[in-house]
């Protein structure tokens, strides 16, 4: 299904007969010329789409997870079922989940995003809960004794102190989703999976594989690094040590 739609997008596959360098014809390791020729039409859009897919998925997943985690934090009996459901979603292999969603939802962005969001839930819910629970009991006692309401304690004390764990969860989530999004093309032809798939179809064509794959990996590492920086900015107290 995906193959048909790709072919319609334009001549991505190098035509060995005409206007290809010898590098491409011999399918060498890396052909700079092919990359510069196809950056604009193929690689850059795929990268952009990939970023969008991943960021939207993690953002929505974070919002849902925060609601679930705060509910489970407040009402302890909710924890078990929440973890159970999110674990099941996480356990279903990506390929299967995409197809299972495609049946009711269709071959579109929604199937892709619903699946990707499902994978973030377990990671984020667990980390948010762990972070909230790691707040020392005496700090909570002091907050209550100072006259803070439940909500004030949550917003001013518990959530800030849970930030390191929350950001750790976001790091894992974004890296996982960026990697998973390479499979999205089976139901929605966007993202870096598209050029990888085409490259597999013809050859396999090494340059395209390496570049698209490298972009996916690089993207994940950059996202991870950015979140580390964010954490340093938002939690200055974690680096303070007895002076």
Partner 1 sequence: MNTADTAHSEGPSAFAQAAELELRSVSKRYAGQRVPAIADLSFTVPAGEVCVLVGPSGSGKTTAMRLINRMIPISDGDILLGGRSVLEREPRELRREIGYVIQQIGLFPHLTVGENIATVPRLLGWPKQRIAARVHELLELIGLDAPDMEGRYPAQLSGGQRQRVGVARALAADPPLMLMDEPFGAIDPINRARLQDEFLRLQAQVRKTVVFVTHDIDEAIKMGDRIAILAEGGVLAQYDTPREILTHPANEFVAQFVGADRGLKRLALTTLAELKLVEPNGLRPDLSADGPRRVKLETSVRDALSLMLSAGGEPLTVVDDGGRVEGLLTMKVVENLLSDEAAATSPSAAQATSPRLA
Partner 2 sequence: MHEFIEAFRFIAHNGAVSGYPELPSLTHLALETLKVGAIGVAISVVLAVPLGVWLGHLHRGSFIAINVGNIGRALPSLVVLAIGDAFLGLGLTVVEVALVILAVPPIVTNAYLAVDGVDRDLVDAAKGMGMSELEILTRVELPLAVPLLFAGIRTAALFVISTTTIAALAGFSGSLGDVIANETSYHFSGVLGAAICVAVLALAVDGALTLVQRTITPRGLREVKLEQSPALAAEAAAT
Task: With CA atoms as reference, report the closest residue to 160 among 140, 124, 132.
Answer: 132
The DSSP 8-state label assigned to residue 41 in this structure reads I
Judged by CB under 8 A, the number of residues near partner 1 is 24
243 binds partner 1 (CB under 8 A): yes
Interface residue with partner 2 among 84, 88, 146, 155 (CB under 8 A) is 88
DSSP string, 110-167: HHHHHHHHHHHHHHHHHHHHHHHHTS-HHHHHHHHHTT--HHHHIIIIIHHHHHHHHH
57 binds partner 2 (CB under 8 A): no
160 binds partner 2 (CB under 8 A): no
CA distance readout (Å), 164 to 32, 54, 134, 202, 236: 41, 21, 11, 45, 11
Interface residue with partner 2 among 84, 100, 146, 234 (CB under 8 A) is 100
78 binds partner 2 (CB under 8 A): no
Classified as helix, coil or strand, 192 is coil
Interface residue with partner 1 among 35, 83, 148, 172 (CB under 8 A) is 148
> Residue 105 class from Cβ within 10 Å (0-12 exposed, 13-18 middle, 19+ buried)?
middle
CB of 156 to partner 1, least distance (A): 8
Q: Are 121 and 65 in contact (CB under 8 A)?
A: yes
Considering only residues 127 to 146 of the shown chain, the ones binding partner 1 according to CB under 8 A are 136, 138-146
Cα–Cα distance measured from residue 110 to residue 115, given in angstroms and rounded to the nearest whole number: 8
115 binds partner 2 (CB under 8 A): no
Residues that bind partner 2 (CB under 8 A): 1, 79, 87-88, 90-97, 99-100, 103-104, 122-123, 126-127, 129-130, 133-134, 165, 168-169, 171-172, 175-176, 178-180, 182-183, 186, 193, 196-197, 199-200, 203-206, 209-210, 212-213, 216-217, 220-221, 224
The site for partner 1 (CB under 8 A) is made up of 136, 138-149, 152, 157, 160-161, 235-237, 240-243
């Amino acid at each position: 299904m995906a193959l048909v739609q790709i072919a319609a997008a334009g001549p991505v596959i190098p035509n060995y007969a005409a206007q290809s360098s010898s590098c491409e014809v011999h399918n060498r390791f890396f052909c700079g010329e092919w990359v510069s020729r196809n950056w604009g039409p193929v690689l850059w859009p795929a990268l952009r789409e990939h970023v969008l897919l991943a960021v939207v998925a993690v953002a929505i997943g974070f919002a849902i997870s925060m609601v679930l985690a705060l509910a489970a934090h407040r009402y302890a009996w909710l924890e078990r079922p929440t973890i159970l459901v999110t674990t099941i979603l996480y356990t279903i292999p990506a390929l299967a989940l995409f197809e299972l969603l495609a049946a009711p939802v269709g071959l579109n962005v929604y199937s892709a995003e619903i699946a990707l969001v499902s994978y973030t839930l377990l990671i984020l819910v667990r980390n948010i809960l762990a972070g909230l629970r790691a707040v020392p009991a005496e700090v909570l006692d002091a907050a209550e004794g100072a006259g803070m309401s439940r909500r004030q304690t949550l917003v001013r004390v518990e959530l800030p102190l849970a930030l390191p764990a929350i950001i750790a969860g976001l790091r894992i989530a974004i890296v996982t989703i960026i990697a998973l999004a390479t499979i999205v093309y089976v139901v929605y032809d966007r993202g870096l999976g598209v050029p990888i798939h085409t490259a597999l179809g013809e050859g396999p064509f090494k340059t395209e594989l390496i570049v698209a794959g490298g972009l996916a990996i690089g993207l994940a590492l950059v996202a991870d690094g950015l979140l580390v920086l964010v954490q340093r900015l938002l939690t200055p107290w974690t680096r303070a040590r007895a002076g």
